[in-house]
Structure 1
Amino acid sequence: MDGRLARGARTRVAILRRATDIASVEGLEGLTIGRLATELSLSKSSVFAHFGSKEELQLAAIEHAEEVFSEHVVRPGLAAPAGLPRLLALAEHWLAYSRSRAFPGGCFFAGVLPEFDAREGRVHDAVLAGRTKWIALLTGLVAAAAERGELPEGVDPDQLAFEIDALASAANTQSVLTGSDVAYERAAAGIRARLTPRP
């Protein structure tokens, strides 16, 4: 039984890896149980047994993508020293994550956000929850750096977090579209400029 459970876990991970790769390029609506079964040489019943419905598959894909994002961005970023170094590290790891094509379509969430931003339902709520956590993390790190006197006096953490996220997201979109890494350099320069205290 332990062997079956281990094989089942490996199969589930393989399905989710392929699902998130597809969704990063084609969106979550591009996911179907039949397509994944064909591409991974599995039976439809095998894929269905893991997820049960397209919506459950989409939700599981979001959860898997969040774990990949945490592995590439959040955990290494938070390992940096507190204050401004941690904020800079988080932004740098975000740009490196997109640049490395952890997902073929760049940032998974940059791809699926426009797909579900105006919809209702569990998938929209899951995307929104992930987005909310990310912005809250950025905002908290900006506030912490400001409290340490490492940012210009009077900085608005919500505004600065918005600008950092906007620069990173724009770099992802531009690079995926053009195949050039120049946008990452521009985003990095813009972020550093916004985080540099004025004399």
Structure 2
Amino acid sequence: MSKGQATRGVILDEAGRLARRVGLGGLTIGSLATQTGMSKSGLFAHFGSKESLQLQVLEHSTERFVDEVIRPALRSPRGIPRVRDLFERWLEWDSAEGGCPLVAASFELDDQPGPVRERLVRVQRDWTETLTMVFTSGISEGHFRPDADPHQFSQDVQGVMLAYHLASRLLADPAAADRARRALAALLDAAA
């Protein structure tokens, strides 16, 4: 990795932390300059525009999500253990300061057309497909009924995750994680 790539990685890590607090819309080259102590012109040379910065932060956050949540969970045994591991890793990801930047961006950008929203839509579709494939592998393993609907399960799990996000982040409910785990257990039982 070159020095420039390493610097870019450090900047994107900081930009990702900032975006978790202020959202992608609140992320600007100026706010990042203030946060990092770097010059606006230096950051502009790295990113060129607010939109480019937002796209790169979104991509960086997605890569971190894959590295911290998806890849490790895919090493778990297929079926129920993999679903549970994926869910637990997502809960941990969302528990970080500022919550899940991909969920926050989804609410922030849901009706704002443009390249950042388009990229986020692809990211969320990939996540949905991952959940669907993990559930489908559980059908193959005999953990779930053959007639269970993987797409419905994926949507239901995401509903639990969004409810957890709201309860834990906005409402500061200390029982949010326990309730989310019980809701997942109910979904798993219904599909078994």
Q: TM-score range by the shorter chain?
A: over 0.9
Q: Would the alpha carbon gap of residues 64 and 198 (structure 1) be closer, same or farther in structure 2, given more than 3 Å must change?
A: closer
Matched residue type, 2:171 = T
Q: Which residue of 2 aligns with 1:184?
A: 177
Q: Which residue of 2 aligns with 1:17?
A: 13
CA RMSD of aligned residues (A): 1.8
> Partners in 2 of 1:198 and 1:83 — Cα distance?
11
Q: Would the alpha carbon gap of residues 127 and 72 (structure 1) be closer, same or farther in structure 2, given more than 3 Å must change?
A: same
| 1:51 corresponds to 2:47 | yes
Say how many residue pairs are matched: 192
Matched residue type, 2:79 = G
Q: Which residue of 2 aligns with 1:80?
A: 76
* Alpha-carbon distance, 1:87 to partner: 1.6
Matched residue type, 1:79 = R
Unaligned runs of 5+ in 1: none
> Partners in 1 of 2:145 and 2:190 — Cα distance?
5
Identity %: 36
| 1:118 corresponds to 2:76 | no
Q: 1:128 aligns with which of 98, 104, 121?
A: 121
> Partners in 2 of 1:180 and 1:14 — Cα distance?
33
Stretches of 4+ moved more than 6 A in 1?
none
Matched residue type, 1:162 = Q
Q: 2:143 aligns with which of 131, 139, 150?
A: 150
> Partners in 1 of 2:6 and 2:146 — Cα distance?
51
**Matched residue SS, 1:196:** helix
Unaligned runs of 5+ in 2: none
Q: Which residue of 2 aligns with 1:165?
A: 158
* Alpha-carbon distance, 1:51 to partner: 0.7
Q: 2:34 aligns with which of 38, 45, 63?
A: 38
* Alpha-carbon distance, 1:195 to partner: 0.8
Q: Which residue of 2 aligns with 1:92?
A: 88
**Matched residue SS, 2:111:** coil
Question: C-alpha deviations, 1:41-74, integer Å up to 9, x for none?
Answer: 1111110111111100000000111112112210
Q: Which moved more, 1:144-153 or 1:57-66?
A: 144-153
Q: TM-score, normalised by structure 2?
A: 0.92
Q: TM-score, normalised by structure 1?
A: 0.89
